[in-house]
A and B are shown apart, each in its own frame.
Chain A
Amino acid sequence: MYQNQHEPQEIGQLLLKKINGNLSLEDEQVLKQWLSADPRNQALYARCIDPLQQKQVYAFLNKIDTSKAWLEIQTDLEITPTKIHKSNRYIWRYSVAAACALLIGSIFLWTKHNNTLNNTETITKLDYKPASNKAIIKLSNGESFTLDNNQDLVEVNSKSITYSDGKTITSTDDITSAEINTPRSGYYKIILPDGTQAQLNAESSLSYPLTFHGHTREVWITGEVYFDVKKNEKQPFVVHTQRQEIQVLGTSFNVNAYDEKNSIKTSLIKGIVKVANKSNKASSSKILYPNQQSILSTGKILVKEIDPKVEIAWINGKFNFDGKHLKEVMLEISRWYDIDVFISNDVPNIEFFGGTFRNNNLSTILSLLEQNNISYTISKDKKLYIKMKN
């Protein structure tokens, strides 16, 4: 039997202190007593303070690749990335999506006194699922199609509209252009006629001709889109938002134009792009290199260095809230969970940092607010109220 005079925890701490040369006189007494109690204790002691052992452990731990190991056990754990789908595929009307696109997420600020929140029936247990594959495609002949939410990638070119598994929705013989819209709480990947891949975040749109004629390949976007452009030096790729235009050859970059009126953020991952302010192209254009981001605000384009992990976290299915404040975070939440957020004016504009997975239910993220003294209620009509706990 183990002599339970000394708690293993205490011994562990004493050994660490010993390694670190931080033993008090009293500690030393305890350690001595423990050492003399059992020769096996002496063996443990010798192993722990042996620099060679420490060095070996250090080298071993340095070599361990935890993320790789995690990937390797995925099949054994049987937790291949899950897609969350609703069984009843309901039809999105184009007009609804268009209306949503104008809203661009919605948060409201409210005062506790004049709000009827306390009287309305609210259900705290209610939860909402994260965004899933949803989009609507509108063709130049006026036809529109709701894309399958069991698929995630669609190729739209001058021949047909076809899912990645080969299933064709329609042929596009007489069609000249297409517009793809994702609603709030929806996202989709599109392959353009030139092989370029575009990934639309929630509440975003992309439109383009089904054949790229002329000297350039031109596309128009709203919201947030990540591009992986097929290289073609003879026909540069141009991304338009209302106020900005981006010229590229072949490259990967992200455009965030959710808040186009105030700022458009273009983040470059690979290659080179030229960003220009449409109203003043000659004097305000900037070249971006990898890991740089341009911010077009009032007429000026600023360039800063970025951590691509943060800026394109959404591409990898994650939120990254580093340095963002409550309102900004809630806008993202609003778009991702298709919910209107009401923030009481007693809640400070909290700064967030860190990241989390985007396929968590809403309550997962909200539980964090709760841990920080903020209470929330979710109503049946998709409204989220946030206030300080009393």
Chain B
Amino acid sequence: MRIDISKVFDNENYLIAKLVQSDHHAFEYIFNMYYPRICIYALQFTTENAQAEDIAKEAFIRIWKAKTVFKSIEHLKNTLYQSARQIATNYQVANQRSINRELIYQMNQEQHEEHAMHNIIYTEVMSELYNAIQKLPEQAKNVIISTYLEGKSNQEVAQEMSLSLQTVKNYKLRGIKQLRQLLSSEIYILLIATNFFLEKN
């Protein structure tokens, strides 16, 4: 038998119980797990990376201070998304008063008329993709990033990494296979509660 002591918070009931007690270790666990994702979400409301991070931080501070009794992690996560959106909207109002008003207004029109739920789906998809890529073994990860994300050819990647063309192909195939496993629906669950945002829109 093996016990992972750092997984003490992986038990949802325990995590929720600790959050109710305002246990800051439990909250740190939540922060580590969801901060990057809330940043991605916030980035859809702003053009500045730093501002996206500020929005995400504020969202976490807000839910900590509100001392909401969360029923589930899903509930907590949705509250995070909701807070981030409200904070982002406030930022936007402030932004629109600035000189970039015209530009930002246009972007908002184009990008953010979409359904609020779409921004969450986008965030979840992108975050899961990132997490899955991060879990790949080093070489396979580099090949996948270069070929898929950066659009390089196998030949180019082979030269850059000083590998044979065949080795690159092998890494790529293995990487894709592993990605499929990592992203397979059995182990991957999108924690989106449908009802929360639906009420609002």
Contacts and interface: CB of A to CB of B under 8 A. Distances in A.
Nearest to B117: A8
A44 B8 contact: no
B190 A69 contact: no
Interface string B61-105: 100110000000000000000000000000000000000000000
A356 B5 contact: yes
Given A16-B125, A58-B133, A352-B3, A44 B32 contact: no
A96 interface: no
B2 A353 contact: yes
A364 B36 contact: no
Nearest to A41: B118
B11 A371 contact: yes
Contacts of A303: none
Contacts of B180: 20, 22
A319 B6 CA distance: 10
A70 B28 contact: yes
A372 B49 contact: no
Interface in A342-386: 348, 350-357, 360, 364-365, 367-369, 371-372
A64 to B, nearest CB: 5
A109 interface: no
Nearest to A63: B49
Contacts of B65: 77
A58 B149 contact: yes
Given A20-B183, A70-B28, A70-B31, A12 B125 contact: yes
B192 A48 contact: no
A54 B31 contact: no
A389 B114 CA distance: 52
Interface string B162-185: 000000000000001001100101
Contacts of B45: none
A61 interface: yes
B183 A60 contact: no
Do most interface residues of chain B lie in helix, strand or loop, or is the interface mixed? helix
Given A15-B125, A367-B14, A321 B5 contact: yes
B125 A64 contact: no
A283 interface: no
B121 A64 contact: no
A7 B195 CA distance: 10
A70 B192 contact: no
A76 B60 CA distance: 10
Contacts, number: 170
B32 A66 contact: yes
A195 interface: no
A2 interface: yes
Interface in B104-142: 113-115, 117-118, 120-122, 124-130, 133
Contacts of B52: 60
B61 A44 contact: no
Given A9-B190, A20-B180, A48 B5 contact: no
A213 interface: no
Contacts of A64: 35-36, 39, 53
A11 interface: yes
Interface string A61-78: 101101101101100110
Nearest to A349: B1
B150 interface: yes
A69 B188 CA distance: 26
Interface string A11-55: 111011101111000000000000000001101100110010111
A368 B3 contact: yes
B3 A58 contact: no
A8 B194 contact: yes
Contact of A20 (B126, B150, B176): B176
A15 B115 CA distance: 16
A365 B151 CA distance: 47
B4 A353 contact: yes
Interface of A: 1-2, 4, 7-9, 11-13, 15-17, 19-22, 40-41, 43-44, 47-48, 51, 53-55, 57-58, 60-61, 63-64, 66-67, 69-70, 72-73, 76-77, 79, 319, 321, 329, 348, 350-357, 360, 364-365, 367-369, 371-372
Given A356-B25, A357-B25, 17 more contacts: A2-B201, A8-B117, A9-B190, A13-B190, A15-B125, A16-B128, A20-B179, A21-B176, A53-B126, A54-B126, A54-B148, A57-B40, A69-B31, A329-B5, A351-B1, A356-B5, A367-B8
22 contacts: A8-B121, A8-B192, A20-B183, A41-B118, A44-B122, A60-B40, A60-B43, A60-B49, A61-B36, A63-B49, A64-B35, A69-B35, A69-B56, A69-B57, A70-B31, A73-B57, A77-B64, A77-B65, A352-B3, A353-B6, A354-B7, A371-B14
